[in-house]
Amino acid sequence: MTFLWPQMLWLLLLVPITAGCYVWLLRRKKKAALRYASLSLVKDALSAGQRFRRHVPPLLFLIALTTMLVAIARPAAVVTLPSQHETVILSMDVSGSMRATDVSPNRLAASQEAARAFVADLPRSTRLGVVSFAATAAVVQSPTHSREDILAAIERFTLQRGTAVGSGILVALKMIFPDVEFDLRASNPRTSASRSTPLDSTRAPEKAPPKPVAPGSYSSAVIILLTDGQTTTGPDPIEAARIAADRGVRVYTVGVGTTSGEIIGAEGWSMRVRLDEESLKTIANLTQAEYFYAGTAADLRKIYQHLNTRIFLEEKETEITALFVAVAALAAFLSALLSMLWFNRIL
């Protein structure tokens, strides 16, 4: 726990001073009681429980005082709180390599099954959009609250040739920032329109690149990128990740498959498709997100369950002054209440 105003902790010296004053008053009353035999006899008649009970209200008052003085120093702690993510973009690889069966029944089918479970667990207040990418990327479903539309979009996936991971990131960014143009051909999507092909040619390009923000600082949306990670065409995925980082958008990456890979082929050709973990780890690190490895269908389902918790429950350093104030108020209330019930007075 930390304090925003640590210099105010000096006020805690009032606690031992108050306790000392209480002890001094008790001793003073004891001396006064010894002067009168009747008072002394009454005191001796009190049971041990009754003698202890008279110290409870002052003790609660002392706890309330201590807690209030700590609250003045504005304590802060790392706590788990609901995030403010309003939109989640699911960008999924539908390239030919996703037909590999090193993840049963194959990479694409396992990804679809896990995605359906992920959608079912999403908070109803969250909008979800879906992007599919192979040699190019396309919006399969614009962000919506309709879970039926999302599930239907996931079912429409068909395998295609090529893998453009960078395009998958940039199209997902376009869904989050529809008024911003991102170049799908250039290595740096922030270049001018004279050297690029924008996603939406009907919109005018930005006059100047936006000012970068801290990576991971954009709290309204996140991207979940699921792929085997082997880029064969399109923009550099690392450059695309840097653009996402400049926008503050986190890109959580999920690697599907095995590093040893599998040989797939059709119509007389064959190739080995391996999981490219390094690029996916780099993308996640650049955007202050996380990389997850899914070697089996069960792993993939667990990852999506974890992502649901990770995305919508975040650990943040938060000021908890209100909590200390509430504890102090409760202690003070109990102190006054017990004093009135037991002794017909307040302290």
Q: In this structure, are 88 and 36 located in the same domain?
A: no
| Spatial contact of 133 and 240, defined as CB atoms under 8 Å apart | no
Q: In this structure, are 90 and 184 located in the same domain?
A: yes
Task: Flag whether pLDDT at 183 surpasses 80.
Answer: no
Q: In this structure, are 55 and 87 located in the same domain?
A: no
Residue 307: inside a domain: no
Which range (105-109, 189-193, 300-304, 339-343) has the least confidence? 189-193
Q: Is the dihedral of CA 81, 84, 87, 89 positive or negative?
A: negative
| CATH code where residue 98 lies | 3.40.50.410
Residue 33 corresponds to which tokens in the numbers above?
A: 């009681």
Q: In this structure, are 132 and 21 located in the same domain?
A: no
**Distance separating alpha carbons of residues 340 and 75, to the nearest angstrom:** 32
Average pLDDT over every residue of 5-14: 87
> pLDDT confidence of 339, banded at 50, 70, 90?
confident
Give the pLDDT confidence of 205-243 residue by residue, as tens digits: 445 567 889 998 888 889 999 988 678 888 999 999 999
Q: In this structure, are 214 and 155 located in the same domain?
A: yes
Q: Report which of residues 281 and 49 the model is more confident about.
A: 281
37's CB contacts (< 8 A; 6+ apart) are none
| Spatial contact of 338 and 332, defined as CB atoms under 8 Å apart | no
What domain range is 132 assigned to?
83-295
- Number of domains the chain is built from: 2
Q: In this structure, are 64 and 129 located in the same domain?
A: no
Peptide bond into 105 cis (omega under 30): yes
Residue 303 corresponds to which tokens in the numbers above?
A: 């990852």
Q: In this structure, are 112 and 13 located in the same domain?
A: no
Q: In this structure, are 161 and 212 located in the same domain?
A: yes
Task: Flag whether pLDDT at 99 surpasses 90.
Answer: no
Average pLDDT over every residue of 92-108: 84
Q: In the prediction, which pLDDT does 174 show?
A: 92
Give the pLDDT confidence of 286-302 residue by residue, as tens digits: 999 999 988 777 888 88
Q: In this structure, are 51 and 99 located in the same domain?
A: no
Q: In this structure, are 70 and 102 located in the same domain?
A: no
Residue 313: inside a domain: no
Average pLDDT over every residue of 35-52: 55
Looking at every residue in the chain, the average pLDDT score rounds to 79
Average pLDDT over every residue of 190-204: 41
Q: In this structure, are 52 and 111 located in the same domain?
A: no
pTM: 0.64
Q: What percent of the chain has pLDDT over 70?
A: 74
